[in-house]
């Protein structure tokens, strides 16, 4: 069940966002319930809210999770690169969840600015986790630029629509067998997480579906179990679909295959 990502061994395949929780206490309890070892935080949001991320960083450190700062809100490569360097100094990590938004309505990433920022940041020693679409060619270019992890969306951020294009995601898994693939954005329920994991994805990142639940702590635990179940199903081998009914209980012959 373990996952090796960016030269770090993780037990949990559930990454958790930290925005929109009703209180710091609920956030702490949700992190504990989820079993997550990686949490994301927007540096822009933290700086705007408190001028420094120190208080928030303390919450994450107390929870024992690894910080994955992100560049949410950036619209150009230059802006994202600058923010990434600030995050590395403030959080003492070379991990960066790279977001460069190209459209304000869909919050779809800009593939050109994203690729430019990735090339620069990889050369600067960052481990880049790019938030991208499910387009195969764009993902291949990001890997060519030095990414070992890709974070394609399942649906627009915060929409809760689930995996809108499972065929494209399945193609990514088949064509990029050496990449760590994390479904990022659009997951709205534990069922969606199971679906992603059954496709062979390595992890999922969820924020709004947990933080906006009536009971975020219980929902965090639900996602934890869903991710584990989906991964176990994938590893066990899911039966092929049949067009017609196939008797599950044979009425003749031996009860076991010898």
- Is 186 marked within a binding site? yes
Of these residues, 44, 75, 97, 241, which one is catalytic?
A: 97
More confident residue, 241 or 137: 137
User: What is this structure's pTM?
Assistant: 0.89
- Is 58 marked within a binding site? no
What domains does the chain contain, in order, with CATH numbers?
12-236 (3.20.20.70)
Decide if 62 is catalytic: no
Q: 207-234 pLDDT, tens per residue? A: 999 999 999 999 999 999 999 999 999 9
Q: Rounded distance, CA 101 to CA 176, Å?
A: 24
Closest by Cα among 194, 104, 70 to 183: 194
Residue 257 binned pLDDT confidence (cut-offs 50, 70, 90): low
| Mean pLDDT for the chain overall | 90
Q: 107-142 pLDDT, tens per residue? A: 999 999 999 999 999 999 999 999 999 999 999 999
- Is 208 marked within a binding site? yes
DSSP 146: T
pLDDT at 46 (0 to 100): 58
DSSP assignment of 50-110 equals HSSSHHHHHHHHHHTPEEEEE-TT--SHHHHHHHHHHHHHHH---EEEE--B--TTT--B-
Q: CA 94, 208, 193, 1 torsion: positive or negative? A: positive
Statement: residue 52 has pLDDT above 60: no
Closest by Cα among 192, 190, 182 to 224: 190
Q: 53-73 pLDDT, tens per residue? A: 556 677 777 778 899 999 999
DSSP assignment of 4-55 equals EETTEEES--EEE--SS-S-HHHHHHHHHHHT-SEEEEEHHHHHHHHSSSHH
- Is 158 marked within a binding site? yes
- Is 207 marked within a binding site? yes
């Amino acid at each position: 069940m373990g996952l090796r990502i960016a030269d770090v061994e993780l037990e949990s395949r559930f990454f958790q966002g930290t925005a929109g929780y009703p209180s710091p206490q609920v956030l702490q309890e949700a992190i504990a319930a989820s079993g997550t070892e990686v949490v994301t935080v927007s540096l822009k949001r933290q700086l705007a809210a408190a001028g420094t991320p120190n208080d928030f960083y303390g919450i994450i450190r107390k929870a024992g999770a690894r910080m994955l700062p992100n560049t949410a809100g950036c619209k150009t490569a230059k802006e994202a690169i600058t923010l990434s360097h600030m995050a590395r100094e403030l959080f003492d990590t070379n991990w960066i969840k790279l977001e460069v938004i190209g459209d304000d309505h869909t919050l779809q990433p800009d593939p050109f600015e994203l690729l430019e920022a990735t090339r620069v940041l990889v050369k600067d020693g960052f481990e880049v986790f790019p938030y991208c679409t499910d387009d195969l060619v764009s993902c291949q270019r990001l890997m060519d630029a030095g990414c070992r992890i890709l974070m394609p969306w399942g649906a627009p951020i915060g929409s809760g629509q689930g995996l809108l294009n499972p065929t494209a995601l399945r193609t990514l898994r088949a064509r990029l067998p050496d990449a760590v693939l994390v479904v990022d954005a659009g997951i709205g329920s534990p069922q969606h997480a199971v679906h992603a994991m059954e496709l062979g994805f390595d992890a999922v990142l969820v924020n709004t579906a947990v933080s906006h639940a009536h009971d975020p702590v219980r929902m965090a635990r639900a996602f934890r179990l869903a991710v584990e179940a989906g991964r176990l199903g994938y590893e066990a081998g899911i039966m092929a679909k049949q067009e017609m009914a196939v008797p599950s209980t044979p009425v003749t012959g031996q009860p076991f295959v010898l």
